[in-house]
Structure formats: C-alpha cells, structure tokens
Amino acid sequence: MPEMPEVETVRRGLAPRLSGKTIVAVDVRLPRLIKNCDRETFAAELEGAAIVELRRAGKGLILELSGERALAIHLRMTGRLYLRSAQEEEGKAVRIVLTLDSGERLIYADVRTLGTLHLVKLAELASVSYLAKLGPEPLSAAFSLAYLRKTLAANRGRIKGFLLDQSKIAGLGNIYVDEALHRARIHPCRPTADVTDAESARLFAAINEIIQTAIDNRGTTFRDYVDGEGKKGNNQQFLAVYGRTDEPCPDCGTMVRKIVAAGRGTHFCPRCQPETGARNA
DNA sequence: CTTGGTTCCTGCGTGC
DNA sequence: TGCACGCAGGAACCAA
C-alpha cells in the first residue's frame, strides 16, 4: 500500500532515469485503468512524447511530458511502477508498458487493478480528482503545528479518519497513521476536537518523524510495494504496531490490539494509547 | 456543509 | 488435499 514515502522513493529512483527519454511504443493491456480517455487516444498522445520530469503530489505520481501534457498515476493498493531493460523479465500483473527510445520499458503492474491513470493537458492537472484537493504534506512548510491544531479543532470526526483524509494532510495512509498515533500516544478513536495542545504537538512531531524515517528506509514493503527498480523497502522492520496484532508493543510490552476505525484495520497499544488520553497528560 | 458506509479488485491465509 | 470464504484498503460515490 504505497503511501507518501513509498511514492517518493519510486519518484527518486525513476526521475533521473526517465528525464529526457522519449516514449516510442505504448502497450495497453487493461484499458479500464485509464480513466479519462480511450486506449487509442492514450497511445496516440504518448507515442513520441518526451519525458520532462517525474513529480509527486501526495500519493500521486505525475509524469510531465513534452507538448504540455501530463500522465498522472495513482498506485492505490497494489500498483507498481518500475523500469526494466530490454533484456529483463517484465514481471507479473503487467497492465501497461511504455517502451522508451533507450530500449528500456516503463512498466505499470497492478495485481488488484485498483490503480488509475489520467492523461491530461498540463494546465488541467488540477482536474484530476485526487490532485484537486490535497492538504499540506508532512515535512513541508505548509504543514505546521498551528495548521494541525486549527484543523483538528475545526473537525468533528475521529482522529483516525482525519489523518487518512488527503484534503487535511496529504500522503498519509493506513500504515503511517497507525504508527504516528502510536508514537504520539493517541487512541485512534479520539475525537479530533478533544485532542489537547500537548497531544497535537506530539502528533505533529510523530507524523514528521515517521514519514522521514520511512523515506530514509526507502519505504515499507508489507505485501506488494516495490521501488522504481523493483526492490522492496526496508521500513517494515521499524513498524511498532501496524501488522503486529497480538505482538508486544515495543514500548511497554502490552499486546497490540486490532480494531476497525474509519472502516480500516487499525492497530494500537491499549496501554500506550488509552481511550481517555488522560493517562499521559 | 460534514461524515459514514459501500464498492471496486484479486491473491492469500484460514478453516472445515 | 481441496475448496469456499473473508480480508487487505485508497478513493469515488452515495446517503443521511
């Protein structure tokens, strides 16, 4: 499940290897992944296009092309974007292949086929729904403690759903939300409006630390994620609660519990993250 | 306006 | 050993 650190790792790996190359052939094997045009238009517009750069916005990848075009790619759950030489095997569940003038192939693979591709004019990138309403990103200047406090106070839901909402904070997904809440010692079902100043300060630091560590470790491979070279991440060994149901909390030894919150599997330590939140005040 | 529930999709783990 | 079933979850969509 690629979140911001995984998508950023893919971007960093691929960007220097894609810049300046030209797409010479397009092989669309699953057209339904292309959301805003048919496969013929997709192929016709991409063939001959040069790659200017690869950018990222939240969990989205944006391949900026010559001719004021852009290809927006969202990996969703099991999407993979990686480069293969002409000789290498293409891998499994390959859905779209872009062959470059170097002979390399930029491969989009996706087991569960929930990923999306939008080919748009550069000026119309904001019309891609998931790019239109992104909040500030962790580690950016726009993501400040003041912003977090103000937005938490204005929201009426619970903290787990709030942190998953890309319009509030861009780039967090289920793994890093659980990890950040654990580090901040906040119960996932806590109403956002009840979060104290001390807790919001802990949460602010936790989000930035968790995301920075995950980027440093080239992302978390829980099941499917691989980087632009097809390699797994290293961050999974540093997870405290995600995927560790009934294992001891690394901080206190209490067994990690799993519940459903905001419709997602949610992992937390009942001792470090008590329901009231008053214990650590 | 907000927020919660449902749906999409397929491989894998579980249990009988 | 084989098979049915539930689960994984980001975002669109709909309903209240």
Q: pLDDT per residue over A195-219, tens digit each?
A: 999 999 999 999 999 999 999 998 8
- Residue identified by tokens 């290293």 is A234
Active site residue A11: no
pLDDT of residue A97: 96
Q: Is the CB of A171 under 7 A from strand C?
A: no
Mean pLDDT calculated for residue range A123-137? 89
* Options A8, A45, A56, A59, the catalytic residue: A59
pLDDT of residue A44: 95
Q: Is A59 designated active site?
A: yes
What string of DSSP letters covers A58-104? TTEEEEEETTTEEEEEE-TTTEEEEEE-SSS---SSEEEEEEETTS-
Per-residue model confidence (pLDDT) at position A281: 36
Higher pLDDT, A230 or A40: A40
pLDDT bin (cut points 50, 70, 90) of residue A126 is: confident
Compute the distance between CA of residue A90 and CA of residue A97 in angstroms, rounded to an integer. Answer: 9
Q: Is the C-beta atom of A30 closer than 7 angstroms to strand B? A: no
Annotated catalytic, A264?
Answer: yes
Q: Which of A38-42, A87-91, A195-199, A277-281 has the lowest mean pLDDT?
A: A277-281
Q: Per the structure block, which two tokens stand in for A153?
A: 């106070």
Backbone angles phi, psi at A270, to 5 degrees: -65, -20
- Residue A182, pLDDT score: 94
pLDDT score recorded for residue A280: 40
Whole-angstrom distance, CA of residue A116 vs CA of residue A32: 9
The predicted structure's pLDDT at residue A62: 95
How far apart are the C-alpha atoms of A124 and A109, rounded to whole Å? 26
A264 touches strand C (CB under 7 A): yes
Which residue has 């008053």 as its token pair?
A: A278
A257: β partners: A268
